[in-house]
């Protein structure tokens, strides 16, 4: 198969433009407690899915805002999509939200991309081909020369910046809070951004040394996991097993601090 990166980049740019244009007028509704969905989520998803079905009519699609089947994640050809990650941020006007699109074959990640539309940044990866940042020039409106991504080089946990996504309002909120506290005591500092694609993308870019996602969906983590691995990092579940699409949590890092961070989280084996 030809490289999927140009196609994924095109989808990210088009859906990103749509979301930027709609943010101020987006209509929000409550999907579940403490979790919003907007009409912009739906429009972004429709754009992405229609383009994939037109180009690859036989491929399965696993997307956040559409009916989906677990088995589709492990189909011969599957697309895993989050048309708007960080919806709560988006709805409140925070500029920390993005898009995630990944492609997998029989559960193995082959290609993926993340977009930060407000910042004009697009992160792309392909299995065995590395991870790259594409950035729009604000003056010319043209895409600059791609920059190869590498994870950070810090090897001491106490000097590391760690991003954390803890769902404190969920049924596991107390457990997540306890894990967050254990991590915070052993690292330089923690940050909570409210968007998995920012958390994972920042690790791939070397802007953070690791990330702990106490709870996430396949569409939250798929593209980010591939980006981190192709940038030289590591993505596992909280117990240290290589992260797969049906795992409900993730720990990722620059690889150098991985075991230290896993022990700091102190997660009980599920």
Taken in order of first residue, the domains within the chain and their CATH numbers are 5-148 (3.30.540.10), 157-265 (3.40.190.80)
pLDDT score recorded for residue 33: 74
pLDDT score recorded for residue 182: 83
d(CA 235, CA 228): 7
pLDDT score recorded for residue 140: 83
CA distance to 152, 173, 219, 220, per residue, from 64 (Å): 30, 22, 7, 9
pLDDT score recorded for residue 268: 65
pTM recorded for the entire structure: 0.93
Dihedral angle of Cα 80, 226, 57, 48, to the nearest 10 degrees: 60
Kindly give, in sequence order, each residue whose CB lies less than 8 Å from that of residue 98, ignoring residues fewer than 6 positions away.
84, 85, 86, 114, 115, 116, 117, 195, 197, 198, 201
pLDDT score recorded for residue 270: 46
Using DSSP, state whether 236 is helix, strand or coil.
strand
Q: Along the chain (270 residues), what's the average pLDDT of each consecutive run of 10 residues?
A: 92 97 88 81 96 97 90 97 94 95 98 97 97 90 92 97 76 68 87 94 98 93 98 96 96 97 77
């Amino acid at each position: 198969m030809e490289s999927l990166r140009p196609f994924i980049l095109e989808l990210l740019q088009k859906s990103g433009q749509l979301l930027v244009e709609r943010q101020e007028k987006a209509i929000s509704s409550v999907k579940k407690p403490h979790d919003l969905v907007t009409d912009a989520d739906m429009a972004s998803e429709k754009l992405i899915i229609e383009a994939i079905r037109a180009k690859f009519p036989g491929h399965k699609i696993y997307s956040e805002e559409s009916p989906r089947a677990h088995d589709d994640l492990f189909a011969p050809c599957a697309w895993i999509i989050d048309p708007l990650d960080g919806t709560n941020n988006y709805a409140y006007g925070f500029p920390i939200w993005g898009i995630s699109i990944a492609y997998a074959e029989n559960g193995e990640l082959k290609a993926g991309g993340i977009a930060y539309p407000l910042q004009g940044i697009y992160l792309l990866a392909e299995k065995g081909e590395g991870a790259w940042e594409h950035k729009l020039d604000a003056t010319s409106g043209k895409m600059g020369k791609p920059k190869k991504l590498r994870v950070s080089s810090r090897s001491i946990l106490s000097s590391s910046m760690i991003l954390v996504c803890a769902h404190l309002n969920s049924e596991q909120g107390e457990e997540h809070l306890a894990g967050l506290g254990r991590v915070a005591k052993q690292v330089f500092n923690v940050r909570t951004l409210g968007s998995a694609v920012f958390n994972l993308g920042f690790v791939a870019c070397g802007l953070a040394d690791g990330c702990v996602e106490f709870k996430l969906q396949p569409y939250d983590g798929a593209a980010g996991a591939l980006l981190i691995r192709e940038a030289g990092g590591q993505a596992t579940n909280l117990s240290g097993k290589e992260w797969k699409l049906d795992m409900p949590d993730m720990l990722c890092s620059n690889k150098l601090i991985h075991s230290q961070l896993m022990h700091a989280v102190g997660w009980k084996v599920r």
